[in-house]
Structure 1
């Protein structure tokens, strides 16, 4: 790391200009990137562009009927924000599971998403809230539905010279839950995680997203549609939706868990999530 160039740009535009060099990477909190650099995962890395102090990226604000979460917002910033607590509980609960307190003070939502890990904890929550990713090259910004942002583990649609500016969510009051399974609840990479959000705009809407059960986060659309068709969510409905989640999951076996266990727990986590939401 001693040979790396370190750039601290004064603006988003300057950051994007620096990142046109494919040997440079952006960093905000750095909780994951520093570890990867030390482990030799970026042998061709030439420099780091520190975007952590760029004020436009560090705010949570409203814009008409939307909320904009800057990519530089930390997990604790999200956890402690009253608007987030009142409107987007699934995201608040997901942020609360990211590492220990010290990590949550520095880890950013943009970094968590940019890593493109199938086990990233905030990603299912953003799926469940139908988030859009704001991607800027410094002169223009494009809005991409989050389920179109990821290509494969570790890969996104981001191009050289672009950064994640933030995320937009419709300003609607939701109920939600986030659950994960790992060796240790907060510190571990998830064996499986799940976010569920629901809202009513004259009719009930349900969104269910699972992580670590496919190459990218997976929506459980069959269970969503089933729950939306139910006149009431009783035990029978919960059990049927849980079975649908189990059948939707397409996990692999790895060092952290087996495919069979992950499939089983997809159903268990949905059952627990629904019970927590409707109680």
Structure 2
């Protein structure tokens, strides 16, 4: 094992107005847009070309994003978002959250997600999100909703932190070495999807691609795509074992000076299940 790498000195913080704007954009996204289903807010906090990637779906521009999101919100009248963690380095931000509400079909659910955002300093221009739709499906089917985790008491007073190159390097190296697919030493350090401390390996991973990665202080946010043959964990027929697939995951983690990785990861298990089930 290599010697622990010291954290690189943090860069100068962005201008104060940019720091303030990044947190305000997150507040309005949650409180004014999603919690109120007020589509007028989107034109105020997002660019016309706002691009969203969620669950394997790409929505390009507000003309695609707003109607698609409103359709989802109508399926859960009164849906609310509870924020557990806010990360910002000025123009790159992330939220760890739980959405909860009652479906028009009559049952309730609470499901976690992690969202990555990019801004141009004034409005949001891009978003990558994974939500635990597998957990939502289970809860709606059973009629037994999961309990809500504690909310962050004052999410919108979070202080932005400058990027940290040392933390980014350590997490990138860990990811590219297949860190997400290792289930022994990491079992008690990562929280997976709906709250599991350990995770059944879904794929026999043969490659990992880091698509997005940024930091705020010692906290690192990432999106990766792992590829390999199906192993277990999706309640699929045995004849699909070994079938090739790709799994998108997003995470918010911290790498300490002993190279231990702690944090939360949300995977697009539902998207992988759909892809593997196709003929």
Shared fold per TM-score greater than 0.5: no
Q: Which has the higher strand share?
A: 2
Q: Which has the higher helix share?
A: 1
Indicate the structure whose relative CO is greater, using CA pairs within 8 Å and at least 6 residues apart. 2
- Could you tell me the TM-score, scaled by structure 1's length? 0.31
- Could you tell me the TM-score, scaled by structure 2's length? 0.31
